[in-house]
Amino acid sequence: MLFLWSLELGIGSFAGVPPGSAGTNAPTPPSFELLSSNVVARSKWERTQNTAAQFTFSRIRVLEEFDAKGKVTDRKQSRQECFPINGVPFARLLQKDGRPLTEKEIKAEEEREAAARSGKKPGNSPEPSKRDKQWQFTDEMLARYTFKITGQEIVRDRPVWVVEFAPRSKDLPVKQMTDRVANKVAGKLWIDAEEWEVARLKFWLTEEVTVVGGVAGVLRKFEMTLDRTRIETNAWLPTMLDFEMAGREVMVNKRLHYHEESKNFKRAVSPPKGVAPATKK
């Protein structure tokens, strides 16, 4: 469950011209129907742009595991260089746990990169997994929650609309394991008021989630914050991901903390031709 969420939003689209500034500095917030129409259209269009494969950037990841007393039992840290290969994002490992790679690890990275350049999907690919895709915003997922626009704030010098969401009821359908978590999640979205992108996402578990009636485990805490930054016009990428999980796996209590930061973005390829969806007013 370390990477349950990938921010690939989208449930509809409409063609048009690049977005304008409708909503920016508006005296009253837009209706949620208007806001969601612009956001989901924008996000589906964005997925066709493959923005992550247009830039090079560096990324640092830290994963810590704690025992029941709060003592660190395991810590993994890595530094990666991310860049596109044949139109697909690729992450090359540069450092592991604060040290340079060994000869064996360097060879493994070279083999992964060679496989990617030959058209094969390398191991440890940063592409969204099947489980990640289960967490996209679809009609069915949006139907789980109630939404409320609570006001406007400034995030990284840009005006955003703040949207709060919570489970629609305590008796939502469960078709797969991820539904158990999604049905008990509440949070906030910060939506850019000009380009209708998700600038920040924060959510948390409202109550614990059991696995096999609690026999296999219990997820007691799950909190996540994701920041996305406007790299340039119509190009947004994740720049920070932080989450914490706590619970019991069979008979062992565990707590995990994961933090990831990306920076030093530089355009590697020209953006694809086409225009962003028009803004509904």
How does pLDDT run across 91-148, given as a tens digit for each residue?
Answer: 999 999 999 999 999 999 999 999 999 987 755 554 444 444 444 555 666 788 999 9
Question: Residue 22: its pLDDT value, please?
Answer: 40
Question: Residue 135: its pLDDT value, please?
Answer: 46
- Please list, in sequence order, all residues whose beta carbon lies within 8 angstroms of the beta carbon of residue 228, skipping any fewer than 6 positions away: 7, 197, 198, 199, 200, 201, 236, 237, 238, 239
Domains in the chain, number = 1
Question: Residue 138: its pLDDT value, please?
Answer: 58
| Residue-averaged pLDDT of the chain | 82
- 15 located within any domain: no
Residue 247 has which token pair?
């619970």
Question: Residue 67: its pLDDT value, please?
Answer: 87
| Rg of the Cα atoms in the chain | 20
**Own/partner pairs for 136-139, CB < 8 Å, 24+ apart?**
136/6, 136/8, 136/9, 136/10, 137/9, 137/10, 137/11, 137/40, 137/43, 138/11, 139/11
- 5 located within any domain: no
- 225 located within any domain: yes
Residue 133 has which token pair?
């895709």
- 27 located within any domain: no
- 220 located within any domain: yes
- 53 located within any domain: yes
Whether pLDDT at 59 is above 90: yes
- 4 located within any domain: no
- 51 located within any domain: yes
Are 235 and 228 within 8 A, CB to CB?
Answer: no
Q: Residue 143: which domain range?
A: 32-267
